[in-house]
Amino acid sequence: MRPRTVKLARDLWVARGRVTVMVVGIAVALSGVGALLIARSVISRESAAAYAATNPASATLDVEGGVDAALLSAVRARPRIVDATARQTIFTRVLVEGQWRRMLLFVIAPDDPLTIAGFRVESGAWPPPDDGLLIERAADTILHANTGDSLAVAGPTGATTSVRITGTVYDPALAPAAQERTGYGYLTPAALERLGFTPVADQLKITVGSGTVDRDQSTVDAVARDLSGWLTSNGQRVHQIQAPPFQHPHQRQTNAVTALFLAFAVAALILAGALVASTLGGMLAAQTRQIGVMKTVGATTGQLLRMYLSAAVGIAAVATVLAVGPGLMAGYGLVDLVGGLLNVDIADRSLPWWVPAGFIAAGLGIPVLVALVPILRAARITVRAALDDHGAGSRVGLRRSDRWLARLRGNRTVLMAVRNLMRRRSRLALTVVLLAAGGALFTGGLNAASAWRAWVDNGLDRRGYDAELELAQPAPADTLLAAVREVPGVTAVEPALSVAATPADAGGRIEVQRTYPDGGHGRFTLTGLPPGTGMLDLEILDGRWLRPGDHNGVVLNQAASTRLAGPAIGAEVGIAVDGQVSRWRVIGVVAEVGGPAIAYTTPDALAPITGADRVSAIRIRTTGDQQTVTDRVETAIAASGATVTSTMPTSELRNAIDGHIVIFVYVLVVLAALMATVGVLGLGSAMSITVIERTREYGIMQAIGATPRVVRRLVLTEGALTGAIGCFVAIALGIPLSALIGDLLGRLSFGLPLPLQVSVGGLATWLVLIIVGAVGATLTAAQRAAGLTIRETLSYQ
């Protein structure tokens, strides 16, 4: 072996403790990068594939009175339509252990070839018998029932009929039942009739294209509009067109959140790179004279550069190899977790080529690039400067900026520690940056997590009602409210009147709706609320809330505002209900957590559309047992002749929202912990370098009478000081970073930036972690410094 290789190997062996820290630092961060690369690539691909495999309808047209076989074949024969089928969807309820749950019934004729919006039967057989249905396999947790059990499904009058579950299907085109808190059932028109509903196949589902299916949104919209026009000219009434984006309803969020997490992991890796830079920098600084000697015997800058760079590459390579196992495990763990959460089967677990390539590039590239900084500096030092090097910070006091050091007064240990810190400013700076960045990401992550929760809490607190009961049909308000008010346990009642609506563009043309088949994602409603409502107190983002007499004014929630392309206050917007476009003036924009896109207006303003004094939902505040009270309210409503289709306790809404975000909050916290680990490792390594550099000095101190205790205290103080500086910078950096993360997460989950929330617990945790970490990391070094004998230290080269 070449002597320079031997030297490098032995030097690394001598510093094996620090080398281990570097390797562990990179390996930990790189495992995170690997895991997220795997999770992101596999989940995006598989959920897209699973979604596409169902061949979802390009568009769904609601045709009044239904579509018969003749019309269907006429539609199929139309240009640019690949296939068509007619279905029906019923929103109803199911009684699960005494509680009402939302239930979505997909009604499909037995002879439907299931080529559009298909599903895979996992158990039982399609079609089910007339007294049975199949459920989506992920709905069992919501329905608390499985194959063989019976469900009490509400009919149009509210009365329930027992239906047997005869099997399960896998339908990855739907948002998972558990997250939506909705049961999904699949049954035939005959079975629907048995429940009391009238089977009408009024949903015309088409796939668009010429020969092959074309998923281009504008093509789909155009063909669907065109078909709608043709149907209308043939005497049909088309109520609405739905053409959701061709992707899983949660795909965009999943992509964006995993991208954010990947960014986090890469940041951790850059931190680990900084850790390597600081540690290598320290090791190189201790070798300055040796570098000078090597240059005097003929070593060129390039040779030294290659030599030390190969050490960095070696360290990074070992770390990369070590990160493969944990990265794979965590990655596929995450894949299964998120796959389960999205109700997507991971059919293909293979990785695209760019995942291993990116992993290796990140593992070797980032640490080596960062380490290049100290290596370049060390390799380029002139012989003169190298030979003049007399150890750590011998030039201290020569800089003008050092003069204040001499004037410092106070506790001797702290004073010495401060002066010592100033001797290696660039290392101090790097350590502080490391701690600060780690801390900023840690607190930033926790702050965003806590803001997320706070935002949900706050959003739900702003709902002053305990439950909302939706009616099958709008009913007369006065009689209904009076009846509900009489119910014991009801302390307040308010009406709400919602109609499904569509934003219309400036030309008055009806926008194609983006609602998914679950009826929830992408929904838009026009809702009338009493202006002085005590049940809803939404945060005003712009403009003002409704006032009595706002005849053509609407207040948009953020989702509605986005759907209407963010109109200014005072702007006019067109909203279509049942094909009729009406014009409204925007008077305010509000923030709302959960729920669809809503344009709020007064009930009076809705009267021309729905008729006067109508109500489609009742919001109640209750005392006592909520379930009992809601049951009584339902009875009262039924007695007054109306039918409840869904009861949504506010607590259930919270479960639905939490179901969407909880996992991501946890992942965020885990990543934050990763950052903290790298930060503390960095501090420990910096302190150990410091001690090694000053070995001789500690010997001299002991020779002139300092006890080991004094030496230990000095080193510990220095470590704690570094930690403290790092902490303050971390907090300062963490706040804007939290705002940034919160902004991104909020936009993804609620369409609004999250308010900045400082997690006091997070800050305290970080402080404690750093102080304990700093002391712990420094303790080994301090112990070593104090334990050195004078002879050892003075003979130290």
Rounded to the nearest whole angstrom, what is the least distance from the CB of residue 396 to another protein in the complex?
Answer: 15
Taking Cα atoms as reference points, which of 626, 645, 617, 631 lies closest to residue 480? 617
- Cβ closest to another protein, residue 377 vs residue 412: 377
CA 791, CA 703: separation in Å to the nearest integer? 9
- How many of the other CB atoms lie within 10 Å of CB of 183? 27
The yes or no reply on residue 670 touching another protein (CB under 8 A) is: no
Rounded to the nearest whole angstrom, what is the least distance from the CB of residue 403 to another protein in the complex?
Answer: 12
The yes or no reply on residue 295 touching another protein (CB under 8 A) is: yes
Rounded to the nearest whole angstrom, what is the least distance from the CB of residue 312 to another protein in the complex?
Answer: 18
The yes or no reply on residue 406 touching another protein (CB under 8 A) is: no
CA 34, CA 359: separation in Å to the nearest integer? 6
The yes or no reply on residue 4 touching another protein (CB under 8 A) is: yes
Question: 527 pairs with which residues across the strands?
Answer: 498, 600
Helix (H) or strand (E) holding 585: strand 580-591
The yes or no reply on residue 623 touching another protein (CB under 8 A) is: no
Rounded to the nearest whole angstrom, what is the least distance from the CB of residue 787 to another protein in the complex?
Answer: 20
- Cβ closest to another protein, residue 11 vs residue 226: 11
Determine the interface stretch with another protein among 8-16, 543-551, 615-623, 729-737 (rule: CB under 8 A): 8-16
The DSSP symbol for 245 reads -
Determine the interface stretch with another protein among 2-10, 252-260, 629-637, 699-707 (rule: CB under 8 A): 2-10
Rounded to the nearest whole angstrom, what is the least distance from the CB of residue 353 to another protein in the complex?
Answer: 39
- Cβ closest to another protein, residue 138 vs residue 379: 379
The yes or no reply on residue 310 touching another protein (CB under 8 A) is: no
The yes or no reply on residue 306 touching another protein (CB under 8 A) is: no
Peptide bond into 172 cis (omega under 30): no
Residue 758 CB-half CA count within 13 A: 12
Q: Which two tokens stand for residue 19?
A: 């080398």
The yes or no reply on residue 395 touching another protein (CB under 8 A) is: no
CA 70, CA 346: separation in Å to the nearest integer? 40
The yes or no reply on residue 382 touching another protein (CB under 8 A) is: yes
Contact residue for another protein among 109, 263, 293, 710 (CB under 8 A): 293
State the Rg of the chain over Cα. 34
The DSSP symbol for 551 reads S
Rounded to the nearest whole angstrom, what is the least distance from the CB of residue 384 to another protein in the complex?
Answer: 5
The yes or no reply on residue 797 touching another protein (CB under 8 A) is: yes
Rounded to the nearest whole angstrom, what is the least distance from the CB of residue 7 to another protein in the complex?
Answer: 5
The yes or no reply on residue 300 touching another protein (CB under 8 A) is: yes
Q: Which amino acid is at 568?
A: A
Cβ 58 vs Cβ 206: under 8 Å: yes
Contact residue for another protein among 360, 383, 669, 706 (CB under 8 A): 383
Determine the interface stretch with another protein among 22-30, 289-297, 621-629, 658-666 (rule: CB under 8 A): 289-297
- Cβ closest to another protein, residue 298 vs residue 507: 298
The DSSP symbol for 614 reads E
- Cβ closest to another protein, residue 379 vs residue 741: 379
Rounded to the nearest whole angstrom, what is the least distance from the CB of residue 797 to another protein in the complex?
Answer: 5
The yes or no reply on residue 298 touching another protein (CB under 8 A) is: yes
Rounded to the nearest whole angstrom, what is the least distance from the CB of residue 380 to another protein in the complex?
Answer: 8
Give the angle 600-604-605 at the CA atoms, nearest 5°: 55
Determine the interface stretch with another protein among 109-117, 294-302, 401-409, 457-465 (rule: CB under 8 A): 294-302
The yes or no reply on residue 290 touching another protein (CB under 8 A) is: yes
Please work out the total of residues on this chain that contact another protein, with binding judged by CB under 8 A.
25
CA 238, CA 229: separation in Å to the nearest integer? 9
Rounded to the nearest whole angstrom, what is the least distance from the CB of residue 792 to another protein in the complex?
Answer: 12
Q: Which two tokens stand for residue 534?
A: 């005590």
The site string for another protein over 13-32 (x = CB under 8 A, - otherwise) reads -x------------------
CA 510, CA 475: separation in Å to the nearest integer? 27
- Cβ closest to another protein, residue 70 vs residue 406: 406
Residue 580 CB-half CA count within 13 A: 9
Determine the interface stretch with another protein among 300-308, 423-431, 505-513, 586-594 (rule: CB under 8 A): 300-308
Cβ 734 vs Cβ 760: under 8 Å: no
**What three-state secondary structure class fits 255?**
helix
The yes or no reply on residue 221 touching another protein (CB under 8 A) is: no
The yes or no reply on residue 45 touching another protein (CB under 8 A) is: no
Q: Can you spell out the DSSP letters for 427-493?
A: HHHHHHHHHHHHHHHHHHHHHHHHHHHHHHHHHHHTB--SEEEEEEEEEEHHHHHHHHHTSTTEEEE
Q: Which amino acid is at 767?
A: L
CB-count exposure of residue 113 (10 Å: 0-12, 13-18, 19+): exposed
Find all residues with CB under 8 Å of 357, minimum gap 6, and list them.
none
The yes or no reply on residue 2 touching another protein (CB under 8 A) is: yes
- Cβ closest to another protein, residue 297 vs residue 506: 297
CA 370, CA 274: separation in Å to the nearest integer? 6
CA 618, CA 661: separation in Å to the nearest integer? 28
Cβ 283 vs Cβ 342: under 8 Å: no
Rounded to the nearest whole angstrom, what is the least distance from the CB of residue 20 to another protein in the complex?
Answer: 18
- Cβ closest to another protein, residue 300 vs residue 651: 300
Distances in whole angstroms, Cα of residue 578 to Cα of each of 145, 241, 518, 563: 37, 10, 19, 18
The yes or no reply on residue 294 touching another protein (CB under 8 A) is: yes
CA 389, CA 174: separation in Å to the nearest integer? 69
Rounded to the nearest whole angstrom, what is the least distance from the CB of residue 281 to another protein in the complex?
Answer: 19
Q: Which two tokens stand for residue 239?
A: 């109520």
Contact residue for another protein among 161, 219, 236, 303 (CB under 8 A): 303
Determine the interface stretch with another protein among 101-109, 123-131, 185-193, 288-296 (rule: CB under 8 A): 288-296
- Cβ closest to another protein, residue 235 vs residue 298: 298
CA 317, CA 308: separation in Å to the nearest integer? 14
Helix (H) or strand (E) holding 575: strand 572-577
Determine the interface stretch with another protein among 297-305, 344-352, 423-431, 494-502 (rule: CB under 8 A): 297-305
The yes or no reply on residue 396 touching another protein (CB under 8 A) is: no
The yes or no reply on residue 297 touching another protein (CB under 8 A) is: yes
Rounded to the nearest whole angstrom, what is the least distance from the CB of residue 757 to another protein in the complex?
Answer: 53
- What is the binding site for another protein (CB under 8 A)? 2-4, 6-7, 10-11, 14, 289-290, 293-301, 303, 382-384, 387, 797
